[in-house]
Amino acid sequence: MVGQAGQAGQVGQVGIIGGGLMGSGITEVCARAGLDTVVVEVDDTASAAAERRVRDSLGRAAKRGKLTEEQVAETLGRVTFTTDLGALADRDLVVEAASEDEEVKLELFRTVGALLEKADALLTSNTSSIPIVKLGAVSGRPDRVMGVHFFNPAPVMQLVELIPSLTTSTETLQRMQGFVADQLGKQPIEATDRAGFVVNSLLVPYLLSAIRMYEAGYASAADIDKGMVLGCGHPMGPLALSDLIGLDTVRAIGISMYQEFKEPLYSPPPLLDRMVDAGLLGKKSGQGFYRHDG
């Protein structure tokens, strides 16, 4: 049954590192599944923002009739927000959802790998592109490390990519398959440990091509998006989707994929570099290819 822990191999206590758009979404998913969840952020301001994101999302779910007010209160009661990485020590599973910066993630895996008290505790990353084997190598527990890539918005999107590395044990992969499918009620697929995994290997070149088209003046942002929505049946156009994902994240994935494969289609176009440098990151900053008020 979803949310019920206690059987052999099941996860009861979860830690989330990072409470941004992805981290707060993963937090909500875990807490709604009945799991004791700790969220660690870099400072009090970020921690308060993470809590607000979770509260707001649950409030919207209640307004849509997806949750009762009692369920909202119960879900929030399962979540603790803190700035102390030491609060992760007793966790069965930690999901790192920090910024898409390789050095930041490597340092977190060094620190948290040494903190975890349970020999069988799993340490995972929600990275979109960074090699999992690198994270496992610095963790001190490479057999217990793998990628678990949720999609935004995590409470709604059913897909989760599971990415074992060369050093991930079969037991770890099986436990994560059970966690995602049985405890969270989502649909896992397995991907090899290569930059982009399954979805982003297909998606990011498409997004970068749309940005190049806009940069070259082929069409307006609105018309490029309308063309793909009405002409191809996509629910959202590529530039609007880039804004939703975050232009800094799209750029970081492109850079990581280009570094691994040296394919020109993975290289971020100059316009994307300039927009990220200017802080025009899409929905998260209020301005990207579109303006996002509120």
Helix (H, G, I), strand (E, B) or coil at 149: strand
Q: CA 155, CA 147: separation in Å to the nearest integer? A: 18
Domains of the chain: 13-190 (3.40.50.720), 199-277 (1.10.1040.10)
Helix (H, G, I), strand (E, B) or coil at 4: coil
Q: How confident is the model at residue 3 (pLDDT cuts 50, 70, 90)?
A: very low
Say whether pLDDT at 4 is over 80: no
Q: How confident is the model at residue 178 (pLDDT cuts 50, 70, 90)?
A: very high
pLDDT digits (tens, 9 = 90+) for 223-232: 999 999 999 9
Report the pLDDT averaged over residues 201-225. Answer: 97
Q: CA 37, CA 34: separation in Å to the nearest integer? A: 9
Report the pLDDT averaged over residues 191-210. Answer: 94
pLDDT for position 146: 98
Query: Are the beta carbons of 40 and 82 closer than 8 angstroms?
Result: yes
Q: Which residues are catalytic?
A: 128, 149, 161, 200
Say whether pLDDT at 60 is over 70: yes
**Phi/psi of residue 49, nearest 5 degrees:** -65, -40
Report the pLDDT averaged over residues 125-145. Answer: 93
From the list 36, 126, 44, 134, the residue with the least C-alpha distance to 76 is 36
| Distant-in-sequence, close-in-space partners of 19: CB < 8 Å, separation ≥ 6 | 27, 39, 41, 46, 47, 49, 50, 51, 53, 54, 81, 97
pLDDT for position 195: 87
Report the pLDDT averaged over residues 32-54. Answer: 97
